[in-house]
Amino acid sequence: MVLTKNTAVLAWLKEMADMCQPSEIVWIDGSEAQLDALRAEAVESGELIKLNDEKLPGCYYHRTKPNDVARVEDRTFICTPTEVEAGPINNWMAPADMYAKLNALYTGSMVGRTMYVIPYSMGPVGSPFSKIGIELTDSIYVVLNMAIMTRIGKAVMDQLGDDPSAEFIKCLHAKKDVDPEERYIVQFPQDNTIMSVNSAYGGNVLLGKKCFALRIASYLGKNQGWMAEHMLILGLEKPNGEINYICAAFPSACGKTNLAMLIPPEYLQKQGYKVWTVGDDISWLNIGPDGRLYAINPEAGFFGVAPGTSVKTNFNALESTKKNTIFTNVAINNDDMTVWWEGLDKNPPVNATEWKGAKVNGPEYIASGEKLAHPNSRFTAPAVNCPCISSEFENPQGVPVSAIIFGGRRAKCAPLVYQSRDWQHGTFVGATMASETTAAAAGAVGVVRRDPMAMKPFVGYNMATYWGHWLEMGKKLGDKAPKIFHVNWFRKDDDGNFMWPGFGDNMRVLLWILKRCAGEVDADECAIGYIPKAEDIDITGLDMTVDDIKALLTIDKNEWLKDVNDPDTGIKQYFAQFGDMLPKEMADELAKLEANLNA
C-alpha cells in the first residue's frame, strides 16, 4: 500500500526505483504485524537469529561481514557545491561527480530484491523541532533497526502531508555486495539527500542517526537557527524534586551512554538524588519561547557499544537490552541462546559462537588472545526499555538546558572540571576539545586527537563556519545561554593510575556544575577559566582527600603551552588549516589563553 499522495515523494521514489530496479516496493507502515512478518522472513533467510524468548523476549541476533563492522570515515563525504563549504576536515567531491559515481553503483543494485520505503521522524512525531526522513533500503535488518531507533510508519507520512514543498530528507541505502572498495556514505547538504552503498553496518546504514541527525541536521540548523550536536541529555533531580538538564559532548567511546544513565553514589540516592536519561548520543537544540535553549533527543533508541557494558558499569543500559533488542556482532551462548561480550561478566560461554560465526570454546578462545564479541559490537535497544528514561523523553517542546559539558580523555592536561568564562570562551573550549589514544587501540599511546565538540566525523559543513554558528547562537541566547564546562574523568598520576573513580561518582562533578549554574558556589579564576575550590567537590564516602582533589584540579602551564604550540597536535596548528574561515573570536580566545599561560 502506498502511504502518500505527496507528488515530490512519489517522483523521487520513482526515480530511485527506476535506478535500483527492485522486484518489489514495500512501504513500511509501522504496524507490529508487518514488522513481525519481516522478522520471520529474516529468520527464515538467516539474516537474523532468534534468541531465547524467555530470557530475551523479542530479541534477535545479526552478524555483519567482517569487513563491515564500523563507521568508515575515509569513505564518508560531504558533497557541497564548493570544497570550501565542506571545509578542510571533511572528504569532499563535486556533487555532479559523486552523483555520477553513485548512480552507476546503484543502477540495477536491487534486481531480484525488495525495496523497503521507511518514513521516519527524528524527534516525536509532530514536534515543532522534529524532522522527517524517508529511507529506501533493500535490508530488512535496516528496517527493523530503524523501527527501534526512530519513529516510523504511516503517522510520519500523515505528518508530512501532501504539500510537495514540505521538507523531507531523501535517504537511499543499497547493501549491494558489501564491497569495501566501493563503499560510500555521502551527504549532499544542499539537496537534503543521503546516499549509502556497499555497507550493512549500523552507523553507515541507519541513515537517521549520524548521517541525518548530525551531518545534514547540523547544516539545516545553521540555516534555520538551531543546533544539532553529538550530545547526551540527562536530567538531574534534586531531593526537592527540581530537575535540571545537562547536555554533554564527548568523542565516540568516551562514556556518553554511561553518563546519560548514571546511577548516583548510594549516599546521594538516600538523600533523594536521581538521574533521568533523555538521550545518550544526539541533541537537537532550539531556542524556546522564553529565550532559553531547549533540547530534544531526535532518536527513539540506543545504538550502544556492547563490550564493557555490565551490571556494574551501566546497569540501566544492560536492562534496556533485555527485550525487543537487536544484537549485532556480539557472541552467542549456544546452550541457552543468549548473548555475551567482553566485560559483561567473568563467565564467557563454553559453547559459544564468536562474532564471525565460528563455534568455539569461549574461555579457551579468549585465553588464545581472541575476542568473542567484536570490540564495536552493538545493541539496538528501545529507549522505553531504559529504567531511568525521563518522563520528558516524548515532550515535543524538549527540556531546558542549564549546562553544556565538553570532555575528552586527557592523561595530564585538563583538570577534573573547569568552567568557561562565557559562551564565546565556551565555544573555544569546545572547538579545542581533544582526546588521547589508549593502549586499547593500535598505534602510539597518548597521541592527542582534536575532535571539536565531538563533531569531527559528523559536521555537515565547514567546521570553522560551524564555530561561527555557535557564536551566533550565543548572541541570540544572551544571558539565557547555558553555562559551558569541560570535564576530564581520565586524568592519570605519574604512575599511570587514574586519579578519579568515574562512573557514578561523576555525579559529584555534575552537582558542582549545577551549583555554579545557580550561582551557589564560588570558583577560582585561572588561566583556562574557573576551577572549583577543592573542598567544593563532595568526597563523602570516597577513599580520597581534599589534596587528591587539588591534584585533579592543578593546571600544568607547560602542558597547556604544549597543547597550544605542539607542531603536530597543538591548537595553533589545528586552527591554521581553517585559514581565513576561522572566526576572529576563536583566534582572540587562543591569543588570550596563550597570554594567560605566559603571564
Contacts with ligand OXD: how many residues (CB under 6 A)? 5
| Binding residue for ligand OXD, selected from 281, 354, 392, 563, defined by CB under 6 A | 281
Per CB under 6 A, 76 contacts ligand OXD: no
Binding mask 479-518 for ligand OXD (x = CB under 6 A): ----------------------------------------
Question: Which residue lies nearest ligand OXD, judged by its C-beta?
Answer: 252
* Shortest distance in whole angstroms from residue 209 CB to Mn ion: 8
Check: CB of residue 101 under 8 Å from CB of residue 3. Answer: no
Which one of Mn ion, ligand OXD, none interacts with residue 280, CB within 5 to 8 A by kind? none
Which one of ligand OXD, Mn ion, none interacts with residue 430, CB within 5 to 8 A by kind? none
Check: CB of residue 291 under 8 Å from CB of residue 343. Answer: no
Q: Which is nearer to ligand OXD, 296 or 352 (CB)?
A: 296
| Binding residue for ligand OXD, selected from 252, 297, 377, 465, defined by CB under 6 A | 252
Ramachandran region, residue 139 (left: φ > 0; alpha: ψ -120 to 50; beta: rest): beta
Q: Which is nearer to Mn ion, 135 or 281 (CB)?
A: 281
Instruction: Kindly name the residue from 20, 171, 247, 254 that is annotated as catalytic.
Output: 254
Q: Which residues between 265 and 294 bind Mn ion (CB under 5 A)?
A: 281
Residue type, 278: V
Check: CB of residue 381 under 8 Å from CB of residue 302. Answer: yes
Which one of ligand OXD, Mn ion, none interacts with residue 139, CB within 5 to 8 A by kind? none
Binding mask 24-53 for ligand OXD (x = CB under 6 A): ------------------------------
Q: Which is nearer to ligand OXD, 306 or 344 (CB)?
A: 306
From the CB of residue 88, how many other CB atoms can be counted at a distance below 10 Å?
15
Q: Which is nearer to ligand OXD, 252 or 427 (CB)?
A: 252
Per CB under 6 A, 460 contacts ligand OXD: no
Set of cell numbers at residue 429: 573550549
Check: CB of residue 386 under 8 Å from CB of residue 316. Answer: yes
28-34's contacts with Cβ under 8 Å and 24+ in sequence apart are 28/116, 28/117, 28/118, 28/119, 28/143, 28/147, 28/152, 28/153, 29/1, 29/3, 29/153, 29/154, 30/147, 30/152, 30/153, 30/154, 30/155, 30/156, 31/153
From the CB of residue 202, how many other CB atoms can be counted at a distance below 10 Å?
25
| Binding residue for ligand OXD, selected from 30, 87, 189, 203, defined by CB under 6 A | 203
20 annotated active-site = no
* Shortest distance in whole angstroms from residue 66 CB to Mn ion: 23
Per CB under 6 A, 87 contacts ligand OXD: no
* Shortest distance in whole angstroms from residue 517 CB to Mn ion: 25
Q: How far apart are CA 95 and CA 483, in angstroms?
A: 39
Residue 368 Cα to chain centre, angstroms: 33
| Residue in 296, 312, 299, 274 with CA at minimum distance from that of residue 383 | 299
Handedness of CA 553, 554, 557, 561 (dihedral sign): negative
Per CB under 5 A, 299 contacts Mn ion: no
Q: Kindly list the catalytic residues.
A: 254
> Which residues would be at the binding site for ligand OXD (CB under 6 A)?
71, 203, 252, 281, 303
> Which residues would be at the binding site for Mn ion (CB under 5 A)?
281
